[in-house]
Amino acid sequence: MRTAQYSIKREAGMMFVLCLASALTMAGSARHSPASPPSILREYLAREHLQGRFAAYKPNFHVEEFAPGKWWILDGTTHVGLVVRDVDFAELDNFNPCHPLPNAPFPRLYHAPTQLGDRLTMAETFLPKPTRASYKFEGMPARATLRIVLHFADGRFRRKTLTWEVDPDFGYILHCVDEFRSREPGNFEFCNFLPKGTTDDRLEFKRYSYILWQHPGGQILRWNQSNIGATLPGNKDMTGQRLIRTGGFIGYFGEKDRSPALEILKSTPGTTSTTCPNMLDEHIMWRPGDPARCERDEAGRYVSRAIYNLVSLPPEVSIWLAQKARLIDLYMGHPPTLSYWGFTQGVPTDFETKLDPAGSFRGVAFAYPEDDPRAPISVVSDCAHSGTHSLRMRANGRPVKFLTDFGTVHVTEGRHYRLYAWVKTDLTSGQAVLRADECLFTFNNITAVHTGQPITGLTGWHEVSLDFTPGKKAHAVILYVLVTGHGTVWVDDFLLKEFSDFEK
């Protein structure tokens, strides 16, 4: 047996210790997997005679730090997972140990649009900088376990373990044990869940059109993913419809190959969730607890605990669950006062067909009133370039923006894009322009701004366009029609198209 060990220390107010202990043993050494109570997911595996498929597999886990604060979790030479310390991400990148996916290189710019697999946040997201932190890898070769211990100046404490291992039923999984101590019972996001491809609005890349979960009442619930649906009351019903049963699950569905899910094994207080309108990631939270019934430690802090697995479900199980699911009530007795339209790359937005917020839509959604004479922006039926509707923008000394704000428009660096729109203007002052802001992902990290030729005065319907080529730090773009001064602008057939160098 050969043992390798190293440590890294960082002073500056926070101790950071990383110990990696790995034992290289014979391939026939025994594998151990933490015992899990039965869940509905395993019941369906049994129904389809899919249990125990990987019971005989013998892994050989080890960890490789390929850059400071970045580690591959490997089984032999196969990339099973990834840890990226500076963004607090842990990934599960492979699922079937008998037929693994090929290894992918680490992207030059790593964040949500470029993640390699299904990711969870680790321990420091939504918390202040810890005063002491310890990160230790151990458990090889039967499994790879990362143990995290965090202490905070306000008295909060967090202990979490993440274990990449081979489950006899699911194959590769990421097993998590979480403990959090604070002055408030529950009411904290212990995990942020985002599978690869979920955020992408491009038709050739988008994945997972709906979410399923098991409610404490036993029902399988569903909501169809759309950025606008994520803003409605039913999606935020965190003490009702969005509760998740202990022994249940929450997962992303709608693909033919697999469905990533969290198997919730234990949660005190109970688990609830909500969906981000922009990235469509799942915020997995301890629900607010009853102080009289919650566990407390000797220091008077409330103790919240969770045990859960990140797994990948085969199509047979996904189909069974989808057949039993029912849609949640998104409106909860409060129908929206605005109407919704959608923007999809390569397809003109002509404001003719409205979106159903209860349906599945991957793109950018707009919410505006219809034929409202007082609104700065309204979809109107008395003026149009094509069809019978257009978007009317009225400026009265303050800038008015029509922009892609409910969702993210993804682009590829170095490719050429053209933004088109048909516009009609009646401006007594100021101007209207097309604008495209390159960003890493959101408004908070704009990397470049592209502005089209200004349109002024009184004009009839005519087409305008803006060409741009995203730079190395751009994975997304925010698209605008910006009106300043005084007057009215109508917009129709708004379109973003990628085109080749030959076309340019």
Instruction: Assess whether pLDDT exceeds 50 at residue 371.
Output: yes
- Predicted confidence band at 201 (pLDDT cuts at 50, 70, 90)? confident
Whether the pLDDT of residue 441 is over 80: the answer is no
**pLDDT in the model for residue 29:** 30
User: Is 222 a residue whose pLDDT tops 90?
Assistant: yes
Check if the beta carbon of residue 149 is closer than 8 Å to that of residue 122.
Answer: no
Mean pLDDT of 461-468: 96
Q: Is the pLDDT of residue 404 over 90?
A: no
Residue boundaries of the structural domains of the chain: 7-23+40-327, 339-499
- Please give the pLDDT value at position 113: 78
Q: Do domains 7-23+40-327 and 339-499 have the same CATH topology?
A: no
**pLDDT over 90 for what percent of the chain?**
69
Of 443, 456, 455, 450, the closest CA to residue 468 belongs to 450
pLDDT (0 to 100) of residue 135 = 97
The CA distances from residue 70 to 23, 90, 122, 171, 348, in Å, are 21, 10, 13, 24, 42
> Is the pLDDT higher at 153 or at 278?
153
Q: Which CATH number fits domain 7-23+40-327: 3.30.420, 2.60.40, 2.70.98, 3.40.50?
A: 2.70.98
Dihedrals φ, ψ of 502, to 5°?
A: -65, -45
Model pLDDT for residues 15-62, shown as the tens digit of each residue: 222 333 322 222 223 333 444 456 889 988 998 899 999 999 999 999
Residue 163 has pLDDT above 50, yes or no: yes
In this predicted model, what pLDDT tens digit does every residue of 105-138 receive, in sequence order?
A: 999 888 887 899 999 999 998 899 999 999 999 9
Residue 12 pLDDT > 60, yes or no?
no
Is pLDDT above 70 for 184?
Answer: yes
The rounded mean pLDDT for the chain is: 88
pLDDT, average across residues 378-399? 96
Q: How far, in whole angstroms, is CA 300 from its chain's centroid?
A: 35
Q: CA angle, 73 as apex, 67 and 78 as ends, to 5°?
A: 110
Which of 158, 206, 193 has the alpha carbon at shortest distance from 263?
Answer: 193
Confirm whether pTM is higher than 0.85: yes
- Bridge partners of 194? 119
**Per-residue confidence at 219, pLDDT binned at 50, 70, 90?**
very high
Q: What is the pLDDT of residue 321?
A: 94
| Lowest-confidence segment of 80-94, 333-347, 483-497 by average pLDDT | 333-347
Return the CATH architecture of domain 339-499: Sandwich (2.60)
Q: What confidence score (pLDDT) does residue 13 get?
A: 33
Q: CA nearest 493: which of 331, 363, 346?
A: 346
Residues, the chain, total?
Answer: 504
pLDDT score recorded for residue 11:
28
pLDDT band at 365 (very low <50, low <70, confident <90, very high): confident
Predicted local distance difference test score (pLDDT) of residue 457:
97
Mean pLDDT of 256-261: 94
